[in-house]
Structure 1
Amino acid sequence: MFTTDMLESQQKEVRMNQFDSDTLERIILFAYTGKIRISTNNVQSLLSAANFLQLTPVQEHCANFLNARLNTANVLGIRALAATYNCQSIMKVADRFIQKHFLTVAQSEEFLNLDVDSVISILSKDELFVDNEEQVFEISMKWLQHDLPNRAIHSHKLLATVRLTLLKPHFITDEVCKHPIVRSSLVCRDLIDEAKDYHLIPERRALMRTFRTKQRCCHDVPGIVYAIGGLNTANDVMSMVEIFDPLSRKWSIAKSMGTVRSRVGVAVMQRKLYAIGGFNGIDRLRTVEVFDAQKSTWSEVAPLNNKRSALCAAALGECLYVCGGYDGISSLSTVEIFNPSTNKWKFGKVMKRQRCAAGVAVIGGCLYIMGGHDGMSIFNSVERYNSEKDDWESVSPMLSKRCRLGAVAFDGKIYVAGGYDGTQFLRTAEVYDPDKDTWTYISPMILKRSRVSLVVNNGLIYAIAGYDGDSNLSSMEIYRPNENIWTLGPNMIAHEGGVGVGVIPISPEQL
């Protein structure tokens, strides 16, 4: 301003009309002292001045001040303020807060008074923390009804943000189709017809690989990690369960299972944890137990058709899938599917190969099985089950052959780590991108880990327990995907390897 040919360089007095004297004084003091006092009364004026004067350090101080004070009552206002001054750091933190606390934020008066573009932006996010898509539909209708005469014209835009294909068919029929706002719009009815076709004509689902078929998943929500069964220091099979709270960073003992199990399959569905099959030290098991965290109780459900240990278990849609394993005689290629509503198991499409001690992960509505062995050979091959086609297909193999590996899905990719390749116990880890159908090595774990379990919790990947070739492990490592680094976490207090692991997420109401 003063050292170039700008007009102000020739003036004896320059008027700063953009902000008040107190704000300018604080900024001048900051220039000399590097310190600034921010309060709720001056943060907006300071942010405005810092933006105008391009004072990045002051913007960062304001951002830290606001981010530390976010709550469900003010987050939308703070987000709007940040957008006014293009303060990306505040916007990013506010967006994550809105996603995590969506159900509470959506009940606020601020939300109901948002403009249509802002509401659409929020409802379109993949990481909204909701129990089901029905909640998104109900909130979208509530926003429309808040000022229906002026908002009715936007009904189709709001309904397009609801992932109708994820709604239960009876909800579509009983609630969505009969809703007066939906019935009054031809475009809304077209969207409903599309969702009905998805449910009624499964062979057309491949044509709808859009955001409307993608499950929402909030990675910022902490859950409780459950480590079940496995071995103790004396190498005895256990029924004991311990849990890890990522907030306190402590392990503690929880309610034990009714049966001792190692090499057990674990899957979580609808906030219930299933312990499937396994080995009791004498024989392979068919029995299945389910843990209800709210009641802190274990109960038995229908047993498997085949006894299995070292199996793959995962939730896909509204069913549990169990793939492969070992029955005490041979490795298995068979698949069983459990429907909790009927409490029955049925056989599914057989895998291409017999696979024991493989890894499993679910992304994009497909089930992926990685590696494992058939009693003779260890594999690097990967096959994918498409429930719409009811068929298995081969995809790109892993870079390393592995059995007894850990595998987990996170942010649209599959991570695998550890295992055994027939000659050595592994530290290496790799990641699979389904869009490119390629595997890439990432940073190796700190320790060699065969029989390792991987889970995702609160945006981090946990590698728990295992065997390093000499001894069973009670240790845990934590991987930060954004930084590509592993760090050691707290050791388990009761287990020595062989555990099955699952995460029970908290509900939106518990936040």
Structure 2
Amino acid sequence: MDARSEEDCCADKFFRRLQQLRSEGHLTDVTLCAEGKEIPCHRLVLSASSDYFHAMFGGAHTESKKEKIEIGGVTAEALQLLVDFAYTPNFNVTIDNVYHQFEAANMLQVKPVEDACEKFLTNNLSPDMCLGTWTLAGKLSRMKLSAVARRFALKNFEEVCATEEFLQLPVDFLKTYISDRALHAKKETQVLDAVMLWARHDLKHRQTHLKELLGFVCFSRMDQDYLKNILETDEVLRGVPGIRSLIEDQSRHGKPRHIQEVDILLLGGITGGYDPPIVNRDMYRLDLHGDIVDKSTLPMWLLFEEGIAACTLGDDVIVTGSDISMHISKQAWRYKLSLNSWTQLESLKKGRQKHGMAVLDGKVYVIGGENYDGDLLPDVEVYSEETNSWKKVEPLMFAASCFGIATLCEKLYVFGGRCTVQRFKTDEVQCYDSTQNTWNSATALPYALSRVRACTINSKIYLVGGDLDCVLCYNPQEERYEEMAKSLGRWSECSATVCGSEIYITGGWNRVIKNFNVKPFSTVQCYDVISDTMIMGKALPIAVYGHHTVTVAKH
């Protein structure tokens, strides 16, 4: 028997002995009570398994001397299972007991059971459970689980509304749910239908809440003929005081919710290692659940590897650069999603790879990069739609490639990358002011970084990927950086795109040390800036790195 097996065997014997002592009532010195049930046990064992009992029995609390202690706020079954866990470190979480066990473990501070319940709920989210999980996680201050459940509930609105759990929602929680601007309702009529469904479930007691709830429905997004018809046919709706004024006011002045009518377009990248690299030949259009909406083979001249850059201009996608046929391309292409067609634009003045692209004030900027020999480029070009041509503007202060790029408050930021100042990677941040056509230094990164992705949400820029092990938030107004949620997986040479208040971080790679090759990933990590939480999404259809993702409007 090896040492590890011997240790396990000794531990098993110890816990079996503890169980035997409890079952015999030997040296038991306290009885816990809940819902009329009495559970004899040992103070020492309870103190070892729970901070709550450690404080109760080790201090000046009156309970430390009592022979019987009533534990309020927990079910008898939940208390019994937690006591059993103290004597045998095994715990079985099920759909039927998880809510009661989670709440009891939180109150009695049994962290292993708390963590097991949170993991179980995270892995078993469904339309039937997400609202209850969201509520309970908020009550227990488990903010990551709360954010995961909220996101699931918002994205599966139609399915959630068909559950018994939805019909039992308290009115205040229902208001929170339907007023969330990230609610994924395909049509605003679904929100109206959900409100009426909830009200009719107990019309006698809920009718008084209808006027307030209907204030969260964006009538301005609904067909006026439909509204006229439903007012004529639905007596309950027609009977809401002031309903016609509410509809008319919202038709003129209503502020529509931010319903995310977008998909994610994935193009380019490498699906194999370096020797040899296997180029991704397909373009995928994915919805926010990770399901494939469309898949098409890229034209032969667009079979690029990892040297491209891409950005969206209106509803179209602009792609530049790449390594084609042993040279760096000057080509620029425009993809019209509505027509599913590629059009070649006027060529760049300088071919490049590993560069950056961004749209500032409605204009496409192509920045930095490398030539075929790996020389770093300072050149910056801007595209004119009117003349279908590129012109050079003020170059970078320091030539750079493999950097993060984002725009905010009419300025363009270049974060880190490979730079002429520090050849491999730098902490330099370069800022372009288009009104002055000048580059200046912005607040330096807290450490040198390359191959990061930068995404703007509201008034901040979020950096992911590369050497980072967490999200790095940059606040230009305060000129400071803050480390946010940790990465859940490797993300070097990943891509990132913004959808509402979330950043979808896709793919990446991990170096295989023994043969210096790389292993691509299909992981999707989703970061919610509001709750500062990172969760795993549905995997990509392929494992890929060095690719680009952009957010595109649905058609």
TM-score range, shorter chain: 0.5 to 0.7
Any idea what SS the aligned residue of 1:482 has?
Answer: coil
Partners in 2 of 1:432 and 1:86 — Cα distance?
A: 42
Point out where structure 1 has 5 or more consecutive residues left out of the alignment.
Answer: 1-55, 130-217, 421-425
Retained in 2: the 8 A contact 1:273–1:290?
yes
Aligned to 1:447: 489
Partners in 2 of 1:435 and 1:428 — Cα distance?
A: 22
Aligned length: 347
Aligned to 2:266: 227
What is the letter of the counterpart of residue 471 of structure 2? Answer: A
Partners in 1 of 2:445 and 2:224 — Cα distance?
A: 43
Equivalent residue for 1:496, pick from 520, 524, 544: 544
1:89-488 map, 5 Å: 90=213, 94=216, 97=218, 122=254, 218=258, 220-233=259-272, 235-247=277-289, 249-250=291-292, 253-257=295-299, 258-261=301-304, 262-280=306-324, 282-329=326-373, 330-374=375-419, 376-420=423-467, 426-470=468-512, 471=518, 472-488=520-536
Deviation at 1:468, TM superposition (A): 2.4
Partners in 2 of 1:105 and 1:328 — Cα distance?
A: 59
Partners in 2 of 1:404 and 1:65 — Cα distance?
A: 38
Deviation at 1:279, TM superposition (A): 2.0
Deviation at 1:463, TM superposition (A): 0.9
Query: Aligned pair in 2 of structure 1 residues 64, 447: CA closer, same or farther (>3 Å)?
Result: closer
Any idea what SS the aligned residue of 1:60 has?
Answer: helix
* Higher RCO structure, 1 or 2 (CA under 8 Å, sep 6+): 1
Partners in 1 of 2:369 and 2:380 — Cα distance?
A: 10
Deviation digits for residues 36-56 of structure 1 (CA, Å, limit 9, x no counterpart): xxxxxxxxxxxxxxxxxxxx9
Partners in 2 of 1:500 and 1:348 — Cα distance?
A: 25
Partners in 2 of 1:448 and 1:483 — Cα distance?
A: 22
Retained in 2: the 8 A contact 1:415–1:431?
yes
Query: Aligned pair in 2 of structure 1 residues 282, 490: CA closer, same or farther (>3 Å)?
Result: farther
Partners in 1 of 2:527 and 2:521 — Cα distance?
A: 17
Query: Aligned pair in 2 of structure 1 residues 292, 118: CA closer, same or farther (>3 Å)?
Result: closer
Partners in 1 of 2:254 and 2:341 — Cα distance?
A: 37
Query: Aligned pair in 2 of structure 1 residues 393, 238: CA closer, same or farther (>3 Å)?
Result: same
What is the letter of the counterpart of residue 384 of structure 1? Answer: C
Identical-residue share of aligned pairs (%)? 16
Any idea what SS the aligned residue of 2:310 has?
Answer: strand
TM-score by length of 2: 0.55
Query: Aligned pair in 2 of structure 1 residues 291, 63: CA closer, same or farther (>3 Å)?
Result: same
Deviation at 1:480, TM superposition (A): 1.5
What is the letter of the counterpart of residue 319 of structure 2? Answer: A
Partners in 2 of 1:66 and 1:480 — Cα distance?
A: 19
Query: Aligned pair in 2 of structure 1 residues 318, 66: CA closer, same or farther (>3 Å)?
Result: closer
More displaced, 319-328 or 226-235? Answer: 226-235
Deviation digits for residues 157-179 of structure 1 (CA, Å, limit 9, x no counterpart): xxxxxxxxxxxxxxxxxxxxxxx
Query: Aligned pair in 2 of structure 1 residues 419, 65: CA closer, same or farther (>3 Å)?
Result: closer
| Residues 1:71 and 2:71 aligned together | no
TM-score by length of 1: 0.59
| Residues 1:60 and 2:172 aligned together | yes
What is the letter of the counterpart of residue 326 of structure 2? Answer: I
Partners in 2 of 1:66 and 1:453 — Cα distance?
A: 31
Query: Aligned pair in 2 of structure 1 residues 241, 57: CA closer, same or farther (>3 Å)?
Result: closer
Retained in 2: the 8 A contact 1:106–1:112?
no
Any idea what SS the aligned residue of 2:497 has?
Answer: strand
Retained in 2: the 8 A contact 1:222–1:458?
no
